[in-house]
Chain A
């Protein structure tokens, strides 16, 4: 078993994005999860980051107007012919 010291709250916060991306080495991930299991403030922080990501994914979809789309498709016809 690794003898690395326990992860501090400060260190955990710096590693949240790496953890959520699933790119963390296994031993590091275990240290991270052990800390979260026993630390309510870090658990709250992790939950806030997850909710921030979820809220960001809820922004209304953008797109170009139907008119701009038609203009483009017409331009495509012209491009092919020209």
Chain B
């Protein structure tokens, strides 16, 4: 089995070759890069701005900045991480957020380190309960009977999309990249510039929000 380090070394080699091809003016190399990365860049941009047109503008601007900054790209960070920073800045500026006054990595770190109650804590007995210490007070209905096509249907995904849009910035970025786009935790940590444990905290909180939205929806009708 290939180790994570080997995979990441190979990625860097591939990226160095790709960046070199761009510098040589290889149009196909640029098209490959645009096709591979625009989908997730659009997802991130859409999470900041309200219209598809302005998300698309942000992604286009990000690519132009990428080209203009190519000479400064030394391959020390993965290309994806670099693109993430650029597209996030372009989208945040369009959304009239606080732009780059606070770097995203700092914003996400603060968010992860903010003390928040653990999700679902109100559903457990206290740890000193004589009979069921830390046990469930209310069981959620099982989703076993839920047909796969209902789970993956448009109504469910629409609810996930709108819940994701309301997540705080750090949770939203981690959730979109990990669970929607399927990135590895290593790639997300690198792109956002946050530690593995902070990344996990943000993902954990976000997944619980999404799970609760599905619970409301599914248990409000589908499972009854």
Contacts and interface: CB of A to CB of B under 8 A. Distances in A.
Contacts of A57: 179-180, 182
Contact of B200 (A18, A60, A61): A18
A42 B124 CA distance: 12
B139 A44 contact: yes
Nearest to A13: B120
Interface string A35-62: 0000011101101110111111111111
Contacts of B108: none
Given A52-B211, A62-B39, A8 B134 contact: yes
B157 A72 contact: no
A18 to B, nearest CB: 6
| Contact residues of B: prevailing secondary structure | helix
A14 interface: yes
B151 A55 contact: yes
**Range of interface residues on A (Cβ < 8 Å):** 35 or more
B211 A10 contact: no
B179 to A, nearest CB: 4
B39 A61 contact: yes
B211 A21 contact: no
Which 3 pairs, one residue from A and one from B, show the smallest C-beta to C-beta distance?
A: A8-B134, A80-B25, A10-B134
Interface of B: 25, 27, 30-31, 34-35, 38-40, 42-43, 46, 56, 59-60, 63-64, 67-68, 118-121, 124, 127, 133-136, 139-144, 146, 151-152, 156-157, 160-161, 175, 179-180, 182, 185, 196, 200, 203-204, 207, 210-211, 214-215
